[in-house]
Amino acid sequence: MANNIKRIYIGAICNRDLEVLEQLKKFLLKNYNIVILDLLKDSNSFDIKYFKRMLKKYPISFLIVKLTTQKLNEEIYKSVKEITPNIQILNSLKSIQICESRKETFKLITQKCKKLNIPKTYFSSKEAFKTCMNGGRIIVKLDDHNIPDLSKNDRIIGIASNTNELMEIMKDYNEKDLFFQEYLGGFDIIYKVYVIGRWMVSITSHNRIQDNDNLSPLELIHIRVPIEKQFKSRIKRLGRKFGMSVFGLDYILTAEGPYIIDINDFPSFRSIPEAISLISDQIYNMILLREQYYQTLAKVKVK
């Protein structure tokens, strides 16, 4: 199949879940004659000269950006905006930046996706303390989302039932580095949704806050579950508002319905065996649609 398709070059600015990237490289080259080029010389630095040199050497028409949360990202975002403003990106730069911060993520949901249920979010410790004083429980997490070399469990700082507990949890941290949210209680099962274009699937996953050391291999199996039609429609709307075509989210089921508790731009897809094929199809279709659009535009201008 790939032999009948012209070679296409896309750039990768990626330093997390690199095993997914390697699988995509193989699948896209074999099936679509698409070559993925690494635009980062190494995972902990960004060389703008190397970036410009690669763009000059190859006709790159598409970008995949998948980053851990760190300071060098600001330089990457600035360079991509200034140097490649017209190159298509799998997920918008804005969505990638927003998903680095839990505060910004839930702020956007509050503003743009009001029909989705989320735990109440507190944007200052003052608001969180007030809730604790009135009998509410607060879960405290690190605000940074994809922190390199830090397990997901360690990103959860603690759960406070009163102001003393909240002060104890916060004592070793700067407030600006923390994220405060209403704690809805213990749930054994977390549901994960994976979205690739119009395709969507939901699986079960055990709650990381609970003690899962004694779970059997059978209990750790991810089971696929149906997604209610209205909830599915709202998830798709969330993707459009963020500017993401490939993303994931976590939710819990409560008596009031599903509550979203986390969002991830371009998750690992480890439990979704067909993901590499679907993401590859999505990338190719996005490139093809853009090319067809410009061809149509050119014909209109000639007329």
Mean pLDDT calculated for residue range 219-223: 69
Residue 271 domain-assigned?
A: no
> For 24-79, how does the pLDDT look when each residue is reduced to its tens digit (9 = 90+)?
999 999 999 999 999 998 877 899 999 999 999 999 999 999 999 999 999 999 99
CATH number at residue 226: 3.30.470.20
The residues pairing with 139 across neighbouring beta strands, listed in sequence order, are 159, 181
| Domain of residue 143, CATH code | 3.30.1490
Are residues 255 and 112 part of one domain? yes
- Domain match, 194 and 155 both: no
Domain membership flag for residue 48: yes
Domain check: are 34 and 170 in the same one?
A: no
Q: What is residue 218's predicted lDDT score, i.e. its pLDDT?
A: 46
The answer to whether residue 296 sits within a structural domain is yes
* Residues 35 and 77 occupy one common structural domain: yes
- pLDDT-derived band at 160 (thresholds 50, 70, 90) equals very high
By the 8 A CB rule, do 63 and 55 touch? Answer: no
Is 112 found in the same domain as 257? yes
What global pTM score does this model have?
A: 0.92
Looking at 128, 154, 182, the residue that finishes a domain is: 182
pLDDT tens readout for residues 102-145: 999 999 999 999 999 999 999 999 999 999 999 999 999 999 99
Q: Which domain holds residue 194?
A: 108-116+186-265
Indicate the number of domains in the chain. Answer: 3
Q: Of the residues 161, 182, 203, which one is the last residue of a structural domain?
A: 182
Same domain, 112 and 237: yes
Q: Please, which residues bridge with residue 88 across strands?
A: 62
